[in-house]
Structure 1
């Protein structure tokens, strides 16, 4: 194994350069070159597997894998696939397919809310028992007091405004959030204490679940990770896809959003 020093030192020296070099003038002011270093950062997500690393090295240089090594890699890949759990969930279209609502289970015991999965925002917020009654029109409500895994995040608030000027705001809890077969514990659930009229009128929509980068999350004073960024730590790859087809949601099979999770 090649040694891995904690610091790679890179030092530039003037010795040996011709005085005619345009970078190193023989006339004042003379350049002052200083050494600098680049710190090595450990990849905590890396899980070493000797046969796999050997196979990658042989493949890199075009060498043929011995039969015994190829069999070991095949068994290892088969074990990874066997350990993988998968889950899928229906995405039900609203009128004219303007949005797709997905059942999301929050808390323990789980409370099911139909949320709009939004790729352009990063807040997971819901209608709840904290939402004023005059702002609720038939939506399912998340009740943190009925979940034995909910925990209020003292001092945290959120406020979001979307491109169509609709908005919502409120306070924050941590709770378990499950979509299909994938559950995230301690996920930030933003509880609405105020919603705009457009959200109130949409009785089918119980909130939004943002899938964009967490840099857009509006929780303050400390920004929260999105559900997907938390879930990605246990996925084969940090990727999500959606197969949503025009009018197909009204027939079988319905459009699905599928997540894959591995126990490896």
Structure 2
């Protein structure tokens, strides 16, 4: 998939009620009114793997994996599991370095989301996700948010370019990114996720930044976080400044 997916953006975003997991002064609004920034830091849990990176590229472009590569991937994921003492993950160099903490609900539930410029759904691991599909991810529980409401009859299903997929139902809730809040944002709660997402234990979901016309919610498409937020920004744009091992910013209206 075309994305900052698995370019995971690890930004520690400020929001009320989430200070316990966010260092002071990280992700605070920029000084200029109508402009907000989220600061990213490197994911220190990231494990580099040549075979896994190559296999990811093969799968993305739907090219069958040679037997030798399949064997290398099997050996590599096994060694990753033993080294970390956790369930098998599929880390890839260069495009899984950063995740962005996003606050959802009241009080805030902070999830690390993958910002994706190739899709338009904001979906998360949730209390509705089967336990067998959860592998250390933080989940969103709408029943614990005083500002959540279920969008009756709404469902969603998305398949990405690498054939990873997820689906479920939809809630409306308060969402905050880098000090910028949307009070009635569609939050798509996963009832099913593919193995690729289960294996990615640091990633709690995706926040799509593409055109809202690509949103998969039916029967009525929902706007992206950015489309809902842009009227409160000085300029309707976002930027990302990512550098290896460096703390940098993702800006909304920069």
The normalised TM-score by structure 2 is: 0.66
Cα distance change, pair 197–82 in 1 and its aligned pair in 2 (3 A) = closer
Cα distance change, pair 82–205 in 1 and its aligned pair in 2 (3 A) = closer
Asked whether the equivalents of residues 181 and 259 of structure 1 are also in contact (C-alpha less than 8 Å), the reply is: no
1:84 counterpart residue number = 33
Root-mean-square deviation (Å): 1.8
Shift in Å at residue 98 of structure 1? 1.3
In structure 2, list runs of 5 or more residues that go unmatched: 1-29, 47-92
Asked whether the equivalents of residues 124 and 209 of structure 1 are also in contact (C-alpha less than 8 Å), the reply is: yes
Asked whether the equivalents of residues 89 and 103 of structure 1 are also in contact (C-alpha less than 8 Å), the reply is: no
Shift in Å at residue 87 of structure 1? 3.3
Distance in 2, matches of 1:88 and 1:102, equals: 12
- Matched residue count: 176
SS in 2 for 1:241: strand
Alpha-carbon displacement from aligned partner over 1:137-186 (angstroms, at most 9, x marks no partner): 00000000110000000100000000000000000000000001100011
Answer yes or no: is 1:256 the counterpart of 2:252. Answer: no
Asked whether the equivalents of residues 141 and 206 of structure 1 are also in contact (C-alpha less than 8 Å), the reply is: yes
Cα distance change, pair 244–193 in 1 and its aligned pair in 2 (3 A) = same
Asked whether the equivalents of residues 86 and 181 of structure 1 are also in contact (C-alpha less than 8 Å), the reply is: no
Q: Larger relative contact order (C-alpha < 8 A, sep ≥ 6)?
A: 2
1:9 counterpart residue number = none
Shift in Å at residue 97 of structure 1? 2.9
Distance in 1, matches of 2:176 and 2:102, equals: 6
In structure 1, list runs of 5 or more residues that go unmatched: 1-80
Asked whether the equivalents of residues 117 and 208 of structure 1 are also in contact (C-alpha less than 8 Å), the reply is: yes
Asked whether the equivalents of residues 237 and 253 of structure 2 are also in contact (C-alpha less than 8 Å), the reply is: no
